[in-house]
Amino acid sequence: MYKVAILGTENSHAFNFAQLINGGHPQRGGRGISDFRVIGAYGYDEEANKQIAQIGGVEMIADRSDAFLGKVDAVMVTARHGDNHLKYAEPYIKSGIPAFIDKPITIDEKEAISLVNLAKDHHVPLCGGSCCGFVTSAQSLKAAVLQKSMGKIMGGSIAAPVSMKNDYGDFFFYSQHLSQIMLEVFGYDIKSVFAYAREDSVTAINRYEHYDVTAHYGSRKYAVSVYGEKDILQHEINVQTDGYAHEVEVFTEMVRSGVMPQSYRDFIIPVFHINALKKSFDSGIEVPVTVPQV
């Protein structure tokens, strides 16, 4: 039995992951995962702690994020503020424990590099990010792009919600949802971004080698269009369907196998993409998306 701790109960993602693993979530028909168990959780919100215990069947609520060292085989870091992610994960990674890191993986680019270098040094696999890139409708568009079923890809557009002002990093808090969808569908080799911000939204041009993808951070719903030479595919992305379940499948398989589902570089590209967006709309210039060698 693989024992798991969830770190950051103030996030609704924590309840979903606990139920998907321990049982009771509709995305798995109420079935849990037989060889995994969320045994404990940490969070500063007392009401959220009570809910994850009751709804998720979590037995131990700790008063420190490092309280599960030596007691678990893996952790899921679900804290709402990205500034807490490296801090919560670090002692476990140093102990050789695999980690799921929720969106935003980190806010600071240097922390993203520190996170993956730490994981590499201790031979620890990582996964995570936004569940929105893992829903079936997003993955079907990804397959269409890879298979070139529409002929040559000419570009695309994406719309998704955003939160410009909040207590969890402002633009960084919600923006990885759109970025993760785009990177999954169109690929992780993005070159640069040009972005313009309003009070409640951001519009961006994301430049790939052979085409551009426009993005609107601010829509109330999620939608993607892929423009091909022969055809156009358009999907509304229903993030309430199976994104959480797919993330849990990826996480549990990674823990069993010890193999990451993607490279360390691709894992942290969203951090550099979102920072480039922020730098672009702050400065009014196009900004390259450059990830140091990791």
Look over the chain and give the mean of its residue pLDDT values, rounded to a whole number: 96
User: Please, which residues bridge with residue 43 across strands?
Assistant: none
Which of residues 243 and 39 earns the better pLDDT score? 39
Domains of the chain and any CATH numbers: 2-130+243-260 (3.40.50.720), 132-241+272-288 (3.30.360.10)
pLDDT of residue 241: 82
Q: Provide the pLDDT confidence category of residue 149 given band limits of 50, 70 and 90.
A: confident
Interval 197-221: pLDDT, tens: 999 999 999 999 999 999 999 999 9
What is the pLDDT, as a whole number, of residue 238? 84
Cβ(129)–Cβ(215) under 8 Å? no
Summarised one tens digit per residue, pLDDT across range 93-106 is: 999 999 999 999 99
Q: In the prediction, which pLDDT does 32 show?
A: 94
Closest CA to 156 of 92, 205, 202: 205
**pLDDT digits 0-9 by tens, 249-281:** 999 999 999 999 999 999 999 999 999 999 999
Tell me the C-alpha distance between 129 and 137, whole Å.
17
User: If pLDDT is split at 50, 70 and 90, which confidence band does 148 have?
Assistant: confident
Compute the distance between CA of residue 261 and CA of residue 254 in angstroms, rounded to an integer: 7
Split at pLDDT 50, 70, 90, the class of 179 is very high
Instruction: Supply the pLDDT for residue 292.
Output: 87
